[in-house]
Structure 1
Amino acid sequence: MKLLDVVALLEDLPQLGLYCGQVGTIVEVYEPNVFEVEFSDTSGIAYAIEILQENQLMLLLDFPRINILAMAKSLTEPEFKQ
């Protein structure tokens, strides 16, 4: 995970007013697995900014994830014709 990645919370944190499934944006990276995440409403107003561990978050993708190695292999292997 990296700066500005969109993530979802994987657990309830009721003491922080946050619950599983809420979506936020990584706004700071403190260590390789420690992030400051901003949770905002649909108007863009932040309602929580918390420091969370990578294992508490799931990276959300808005594009298809492709297997680069498989794609590269398929491009380099000759086609076998019968």
Structure 2
Amino acid sequence: MHNETDLVAILKNLPEKKLMRGDIGTVAFVYDGGGLYEVEFVNAAGDTVAVVTLDENEICAVQLQNAILHMTDLPAQNAA
């Protein structure tokens, strides 16, 4: 079970929310004693990107030593 303010990673892509497997969010609310979680995803500037309700099987606890920032929308590499 996860608690409010825990960091969790999603285990599947959610393209409709522009979220990818491994993106990290914060549990904002715990429903039904831990059956469902409202998870907020923010960018490095602290802006909310998405808020999603996920079940226990769609998230996992984050080990901070394994977490790394990731940039989306990188410019295409020029072929050398």
TM norm structure 2: 0.72
- Tell me the distance in 1 between the aligned counterparts of 2:35 and 2:3: 10
Residue-pair matches, total: 63
* Residue ranges of structure 2 left out of the alignment (5+ in a row): 66-80
Q: Report SS of the residue matched to 1:15.
A: helix
- Partners of 1:56 and 1:41 in 2: CA distance: 20
Q: Which amino acid aligns with 1:48?
A: A
CA distance in structure 2 between the partners assigned to 1:26 and 1:2 by the alignment: 7
Show structure 1 runs of 4+ deviating over 6 A. Answer: none
Aligned to 2:38: 36
Long gaps (5+) in structure 1: 64-82
Q: Which has the larger radius of gyration?
A: 1
Sequence identity (%)? 33
Residue aligning to 2:54: 52
SS at match of 2:45: coil
Could you give the per-residue CA deviations for residues 25-60 of structure 1, whole angstroms, max 9, x where no partner exists? 000011222000000001111110111111100101
Shift in Å, 1:14:
1.1
SS of equivalent to 1:7:
strand
- 2:19: which partner in 1? 18
- For the residue of structure 1 that corresponds to 2:12, the secondary structure is coil
Write 1 or 2 for the structure with the bigger share of helix: 1
TM-score by length of 1: 0.70
